[in-house]
Amino acid sequence: MKVLIVGLDGYLGWALAIYLFARGHKVCGIDNGSRRRWVQEVGSDSLIPIQSMLDRVEIFRKYFGGVFNYCDTTDSYSISENIKNFHPDVIVHLGEMPSAPYSMMNNKKAVYTHINNISGTLNILYAMKKHCPDVHLVKLGSLGEYGTPNIDITEGPIVIEYKGRKDTLPFPKQGNSWYHLTKIHDSNNIQFACRVWGLKSTDVMQGIVYGTSIPEMEGNKSLNTRFDYDGIFGTSINRFCIQALSLLPITLYGKGKQRRGFLPLKDSMQCLTLAIENPPKKGEYRVINQFEEVYTLDKVAYTVWSIAQEMGYSTEIINIENPRIESEDHYYNPEHKKLLELGYKPTSDMKFEVESMMGDLERYRDSIIPEVIDPKIRWK
């Protein structure tokens, strides 16, 4: 298949290109490099060294025979031309501003996150409608769109009975940051475009992805994908790893009983590829809940702590004031059958995955900037 990756320069985008190429797909991609700028803006950088965008254009041409273009998704002309010229079978849209704290920094960042994410997706939908209405859009959403409802989260619409009548309606969502809200807005917009224009899309409600590499990178450093650990762009598990390696206390926000879905990077690649290779039918808006298992954050922290201990990095786990407003101890059960039905083989050994990740990260201990780790953005 011919796959266009929007956000090729990001953590998932770059790894996915390598994974798909190894599976025999033809891959091209676009990016405007904003992830690099955002992370620099908050005083941090990818801990694992990655090639410059210009070098990646070369690598991409040489290794994969693919085109990597500069393109800003908010520029409707540019995205439209790229989609017209590549004429892909699948568009994987990973090109959004992905940080909850960044979106919560201030008024301007909140508006920026909305404009960047929503316009980008709208421009892609219009380009699809115009140039290739049969293309399958695989859009990266987030499990965080659902919030933490006290009922099981369906994978797709839910049947609601009320006063003796019944309808099948979208699952009600409650995001906990502007970033998550933009993902909800996107989901609503994509659903509308599928209904009205007959487009087809898989909206991937993905859990927290962790890991530093996939086997297909074969230890080739020029294929490294980025790794962020700062308080703005790093995930909780990335923070735990870096805190342990820096001999700093591992910090849980609040009670630490928050439940989240997790999956290793290689599983994310496996799942996205299953979605790509098994498209929905015309006009279908398909929702996939993409994760391996739900863990409480204190369990994840303990896993990291014990591995660090074995590696000789002795630290402690502490609870700090939660900078976010969120439930810290709650029910959480998102259904996730569709990927298993498509053949997903989950990696159930989190310990092994984190060990491999910590081994990779240990080599870059000297480059850690401890000042960027702590949360500086508060929801209130």
Give the one residue of 181, 248, 265, 276 binding its own copies; rule: CB under 8 A.
181
Of 50 and 118, CB closest to its own copies: 118
Give the one residue of 44, 99, 123, 206 binding its own copies; rule: CB under 8 A.
123
Structure tokens given for 246: 């820096």
Stretch in the footprint of its own copies (CB under 8 A) among 136-144, 195-203, 283-291, 365-373 = 195-203
First to last CA, the chain: 46
Give the one residue of 58, 152, 329, 371 binding its own copies; rule: CB under 8 A.
152
Give the one residue of 54, 196, 318, 320 binding its own copies; rule: CB under 8 A.
196
How far is it, in rounded angstroms, from Cα 350 to Cα 262?
Answer: 9
How far is it, in rounded angstroms, from Cα 321 to Cα 251?
Answer: 9
Stretch in the footprint of its own copies (CB under 8 A) among 33-41, 92-100, 153-161, 251-259 = 153-161
User: Is 172 a residue that touches its own copies (CB under 8 A)?
Assistant: yes
User: Is 154 a residue that touches its own copies (CB under 8 A)?
Assistant: yes
How far is it, in rounded angstroms, from Cα 56 to Cα 52?
Answer: 6
Give the one residue of 122, 208, 276, 373 binding its own copies; rule: CB under 8 A.
122
Give the one residue of 151, 247, 318, 320 binding its own copies; rule: CB under 8 A.
151
Buried b (16+ CB within 10 A) or exposed e, 130-167: ebbeebbbbbbbbbbbbbbbeeebbbbeeeeeeeeeee
Of 119 and 246, CB closest to its own copies: 119
Give the one residue of 24, 37, 163, 341 binding its own copies; rule: CB under 8 A.
163
- Type and span of the H or E element at 209: strand 208-210
User: Per-residue x/- marks for its own copies, 125-144, CB under 8 A?
Assistant: -x------------------
How far is it, in rounded angstroms, from Cα 103 to Cα 165?
Answer: 40
Give the one residue of 41, 53, 131, 170 binding its own copies; rule: CB under 8 A.
170
Stretch in the footprint of its own copies (CB under 8 A) among 6-14, 48-56, 175-183, 343-351 = 175-183
Which residues in 241-280 contact its own copies (CB under 8 A)? Answer: none
The single-letter DSSP state of residue 255 is T
Of 193 and 373, CB closest to its own copies: 193
Q: How far is CA 189 from the centre of its chain?
A: 19
In this structure, are residues 155 and 338 in contact, taking their beta carbons and an 8 Å threshold?
yes
User: Is 115 a residue that touches its own copies (CB under 8 A)?
Assistant: yes
Angle between helices 53-64 and 11-22 (to 10 degrees): 10
Amino acid at 49: P
Nearest approach, Cβ of residue 263 and its own copies (Å): 24
Give the SS3 label for residue 284. coil
> How many CB atoms are located within 10 Å of the residue 117 CB?
25
Comparing CA positions, the residue from 353, 98, 308, 93 lying closest to residue 214 is: 353
Comparing CA positions, the residue from 94, 133, 92 lying closest to residue 7 is: 94
The single-letter DSSP state of residue 256 is S
Number of residues that bind its own copies (CB under 8 A): 50
Structure tokens given for 164: 């003796």
Which residues in 76-105 contact its own copies (CB under 8 A)? Answer: 76, 80
User: Is 315 a residue that touches its own copies (CB under 8 A)?
Assistant: no
Nearest approach, Cβ of residue 31 and its own copies (Å): 20
Stretch in the footprint of its own copies (CB under 8 A) among 84-92, 134-142, 154-162, 270-278 = 154-162
Neighbouring residues of 379: CB distance < 8 A, sequence distance ≥ 6: 104, 177, 323, 324, 325
User: Is 119 a residue that touches its own copies (CB under 8 A)?
Assistant: yes
The residues binding its own copies (CB under 8 A) are: 76, 80, 106-108, 110-111, 114-115, 118-119, 122-123, 126, 149-152, 154, 158, 160-163, 165-167, 169-176, 178, 181, 184-185, 188-189, 191-192, 195-197, 325, 331, 379-380
